[in-house]
Amino acid sequence: MSSFQIIYINPVELIDYEKNNKIHTEEDTELLAALISEVGFDVPIVADENKVIIKGHLRKRAAVNIGLDKVPCIIRDDMTEEQKRLARIADNKFPERSQWHYEFVREEINYLKEMGIDLSLTGFNVNELKVITDLDEDFSFNSNYDNDETDSPDSNIEGSKDGRSYLCEIAFSDKESAEKFLRYIGLEDWKFKGLTKLVDGNKIIIKE
C-alpha cells in the first residue's frame, strides 16, 4: 500500500471538481464550519497533482467559510482519471450504506445534551432527535442554525406523481422508538391505512 504525505495548503487554492456528484447547501457549509470550530479540522482533503479535489469539497467550503488559511491535504499524483472518478463517487456513496446503532446514538446524544453541547452540530435536526432520543417534545436548538424543521408531505396528495406504488421499510432499534415515531407523524393506530403492526418487534412496513 502506498504511503501519503499530508501537507498544509490554503483551501482557496484547491479547485472544486466541475462534476462533483454531491450537492451541499449553505446550511451544510455553515454547520460543518461550526463543527470544525468546535473540534478542529482533522480529516485531510484529498486532491490530485493539479489541486483538483477528489475528496472533501464540503470541508474545503467550510474551511473557507471560517477563514482558515491552511488545511491538511493529501496530494495524489498516482491515480488514473478512472480511479479519481471512482473514488469521488464511492467516497460519497459508501457512508449511505451503513446503518445507525440507535441505542448508542441515544446514549451519546443524551450525554452531549447533559454536557450542554449544541446538538445541531451532530447534523441531526430536532425532529430526528426527538424520534430517536429522550428529548422533550418542546426541545429546540439553542443556536443560529435553523435545521430543526423538515417539510411535511401534503396530506391531500393521493398516490405518487408517477402513478406507481412504493414499499417503504422503516427499521427501529426498539419498540419505544417506533411508537415515538408514529406519535410524531400522527399515526398511533397500528391498523391505520397502509400501516402494518410491528414486524419481529423492530420494524414497521408502510405501503401504498
DSSP, residue by residue, 109-153: HHHHHHTT--GGGGS--HHHHHHHS---TT----SS---S--PPP
The model's confidence at residue 127, banded by pLDDT at 50, 70 and 90, is confident
Confidence of residue 180 (pLDDT cuts 50, 70, 90): confident
Cα 122 to the chain's mean position, in Å? 9
Which pLDDT score, from 0 to 100, does residue 56 have? 97
Q: Is the pTM of this model over 0.85?
A: no
- Grid cell 468546535 in the structure block, residue: 38
Number of domains into which the chain is organized: 3
Q: Are residues 67 and 126 in the same domain?
A: no
Same domain, yes or no: 137 and 200:
no
Residue 1 lies in a domain: no
The answer on 176 and 143 residing in a single domain is no
- Is 139 found in the same domain as 81? no
Task: Give mean pLDDT, residues 125-154.
Answer: 60
Question: Domain limits at 140?
Answer: 99-151
Whether pLDDT at 20 is above 60: yes
Query: Which residues are registered as beta bridge partners of 106?
Result: none
State residue 94's pLDDT score. 92
Could you report the per-residue pLDDT of 61-107, keeping only the tens digit for each?
999 999 999 999 999 999 999 999 999 999 999 988 888 888 898 89
Rounded to a whole number, what is the distance in angstroms from the first to the last CA of the chain? 49
pLDDT at 62: 98
Shared domain for 107 and 90, answered yes or no, is no
The b-or-e profile of 11-43 (16+ CB within 10 A means b, else e) is beebeebeeeeeeeeeebbbbbbbbbeeeebee
Residues 6+ apart with CB under 8 A from 199: 205
| pLDDT (average), residues 171-195 | 64
- Residue 148 pLDDT > 50: no
Summarised one tens digit per residue, pLDDT across range 26-66 is: 999 999 999 999 999 999 999 999 999 999 999 999 999 99
CATH of the domain at 55: 3.90.1530.10
Residues 144 and 166 in one domain: no
Domain boundary residue, one of 32, 66, 97: 97
